[in-house]
Amino acid sequence: MQRFYITTPIYYVNAKPHLGHAYTTIVADALARFHRAMGFETRFLTGTDEHGDKIVQAAGKNGEQPQEYTDRISGLFRDLWPELNISNDDFIRTTEPRHKKVVQAILQKVYDSGDIYFGEYGGHYCYGCERFYTEKELEDGLCPQHKVKPEFIQEKNYFFRMSRHQQWLIEHIKANPDFVRPERYRNEVLSLLESGALDDLCISRPKTRLTWGIELPFDTDYVTYVWFDALLNYVTALDWPDGENFGKFWPVAQHLVAKDILKPHAVFWPTMLRAAGFEPYRHLNVHGYWLVKDTKMSKSLGNVVEPLDMARHYGLDPFRYFLLREMHYGNDASFSEEALVARLNADLANDLGNLFNRVLSMTRKYFGGVVPAPQDEADWTDLDRDLKELALTSCANFQQLFGCVRFSYGLEALWELVRGLNKHVDASAPWTLFKQGDTARLGTVMYCLLECMRKVALHLWPVMPESSEKMLAQLGVGVEHGAVDSGRLAGEAETWGVLAPGTALSATSQLFPRVELEAAPGPDGTDGPGGAEAPAAAKDGRKDAKAAAPVEEAAKAEPAPEIEYEDFAKVDLRVGTVVAAEQHPKADRLIRMDIDCGEEGGPRQVVGGLAEHFAPEDLIGRQVVVVANLKPRKLRGLTSHGMVLAVRDGEAMRLLTPSEPVNPGRKVS
């Protein structure tokens, strides 16, 4: 049997959980559910990280003892997860005896192998990060994360010979391109490793300075450095060394983290594992930050989004859908209630909700609410055949993309089917077939729609479990026929015709009503709708519900007024090749590109709002049409010399490109 083991970071208990913690945990939950539904034996771990200076300081500020304080805050995390429908199998706390035992055993193992030594060290210590920085790593003498001056500390400590494993790690990352993914983080780690010798890692703290930690087994005057302790939670929870779970799940371990803790997970952890004689984990899946008004959420800035408030107000499943659909895993994304509302109205109320409402009520009207029998496939039209093919392709794409943590693209692939189904209703006009009394063809049309809707509902289970089960129940395939989590998705990209003719359906479906923005202040403390600054999504219309209306409606838009040929001739359209592309550093919707338009001065910089639809690496090498004589314009600090032409198709975006490659710089006429 195939297996899957997924972990979240264990969160610090120095503050209560916020959107960032909820995001990683919801992603882990969706992945765990997806793998269960694909028939994998799955284990899902989360927990809390409870030792170290940071926690002692936070407890002190609250006038509490560390144990009392960690019990309380860890409880907040533990209690939040069921409210977000998180299906973790275990919740680990680093203050538990089971963890202490493992940390001490592994420290002793590494010590005995000669990879831990005693030495004196002076370094710049940041209490926020709980780590030493070298001179080189500081920015203007300050900690790059916390922007505070670290304290210079000189003391005797134990060190882990990390440098000994540097070359092995470089080779391992090179030989396993998706060990750290997405690729930008793999490159970041490789360049960090290749830029110079890796320092050894200080893994102890003298008890004279800190007692809240796990005592070193070979020197009781010291406690363990919090990262050496924390990372080991991933093996403690598998009952290393004797537990059956360790043998079953360690070989397929995958971690989820944000980019803030890339180095400990991509450098400390694999080298620690090697020193302790373990195999490396399978994948480190690194995501970006949720930003509020372009700034990372943080308690001190007061821009923290409360996940429970959002889930209670907009519904848990829609909130989970938004998080997975909105963030391109790996990139930063902006959180705003405006974006949330626009997304829910466009994707859930308009596309998915309408589909269910329309098709169920038509089935009630035409077939008394019972699944009709389709014709023999030989009698189908091309429309029916195309729809079936679209369904199987969308499901296959969803499964492939979701499994390699490209959630937004996976959902977009599924939405191609959802939108295709709405188009199919319009194109095959069941109401006309009904009027004409063509019951045989009408039966095929309705059957195909319903069978595809069943596939959509099933694939949404990892993301929106409760809504998925409701949709399935409306289609007469309730979970009483077998829980979705025991392999029900497997085979869905190849099979057809599971929905049995004769099955009774619900008469209506009111799953995703339109949502409104509250006029109350937004989570970032700014005005709600009607505030001084209109939300970016609404401004460019991209996420406005109307933007996602069926293409037919868009095509009906009023034609623009006539222009003279001379007016058109003023526009200099050129074919260019994208030679470099990257996320705009300050705007998650924008991509900065270097486009070769055959000009002497080399490629020109063009900035475009493509990030929602394309990963930068997917653009490289593509030929595009550029408006070359557009006045340069600054977009969030970067000058764009021209514009790339694209066309919106429903919610998708397509690039205009020549039918065959041409020399860069060719004029479009």
Q: Does 335 bind ligand ME8 (CB under 6 A)?
A: no
Stretch touching ligand ME8 by CB under 6 A, among 208-216, 227-235, 415-423, 638-646:
227-235
Q: Is 459 in contact with 397 (CB distance < 8 Å)?
A: no
Q: Active site residue: 99, 126, 452, 470, which one? A: 126
What gap in Å lies between CA 111 and CA 43, rounded to an integer? 30
- Does 24 engage in binding with ligand ME8 (CB under 6 A)? yes
156 is catalytic: no
Rg (CA), the chain: 28
296 or 364: CB nearest ligand ME8: 296
The structure tokens listed for 207 are 């008890």
| Residue among 296, 313, 388, 423 flagged as catalytic | 296
Choose, by CB under 6 A, the member of 38, 297, 607, 646 that binds ligand ME8: 297
Q: Whole-angstrom Cα distance, residue 316 to residue 248?
A: 33
Task: Decide: 10 and 94 in contact? Cβ < 8 Å.
Answer: yes
CB of residue 371 vs ligand ME8: minimum separation in angstroms?
A: 43
By the rule CB under 6 A, 21 interacts with ligand ME8:
yes
Residues 575 and 625: their CA atoms lie apart, in Å, by 5
Residue 519 has φ and ψ, to the nearest 5°, of -80, 0
Residue 126 designated active-site: yes
| Least distance (Å) between residue 289 CB and ligand ME8 | 4
Which of 38, 129, 189, 230 binds ligand ME8 (CB under 6 A)? It is: 230
How far is 307 from 316, CA to CA, in rounded Å?
9
- Per residue in 146-159, is it b (16+ CB within 10 Å) or e — as a string? eeeebeeeeeebbb
Residue 21 annotated to the active site: yes
Could you confirm whether 149 is annotated as catalytic?
no
How many residues belong to the site for ligand ME8 (CB under 6 A)? 20
10 binds ligand ME8 (CB under 6 A): yes
Residue 272 sits in the site that holds ligand ME8 (CB under 6 A): no
Q: Which of 231, 324, 452, 477 lies at the binding interface for ligand ME8 (CB under 6 A)?
A: 231
Residue nearest to ligand ME8 (CB): 20
Q: Is 570 a catalytic residue?
A: no
Least distance CB 265 / ligand ME8 (angstroms): 7
Closer Cβ to ligand ME8, 12 or 409, answer by number: 12
Cα(309)–Cα(335) distance, rounded to whole angstroms? 14
* Total count of residues recorded for the chain: 669
Give the shortest CB-333-to-ligand ME8 separation in angstroms.
Answer: 8
Binding of ligand ME8 by 106 (CB under 6 A) = no
The closest of 389, 474, 390, 380 to 428, measured between CA atoms, is: 380
Q: In this structure, are residues 205 and 225 in contact, taking their beta carbons and an 8 Å threshold?
A: yes
Strand stretches in 601-657, DSSP E: 604-608, 623-627, 633-635, 638-640, 643-644, 646-649, 652-655
Angle (CA) 246 250 253, round 5° = 145
- Only segment of 165-173, 189-197, 258-266, 645-653 that touches ligand ME8 (CB under 6 A): 258-266
Q: Which of 34, 81, 185, 290 binds ligand ME8 (CB under 6 A)?
A: 290
- What is the sign of the dihedral through the CA atoms of 457, 461, 466 and 472? positive
User: Which two three-digit tokens encode residue 78?
Assistant: 């533990």
Minimum CB separation of residue 4 from ligand ME8 in Å reads 19
**631 is a catalytic site residue:** no
DSSP state of 349: I
Q: What is the C-alpha to C-alpha distance for residues 305 and 297, in angstroms, rounded to an integer?
A: 8
- List residues binding ligand ME8 (CB under 6 A): 9-12, 20-21, 23-24, 49, 230-231, 233, 257-258, 260-261, 289-290, 296-297
Catalytic residues: 18, 21, 126, 129, 143, 146, 296, 299
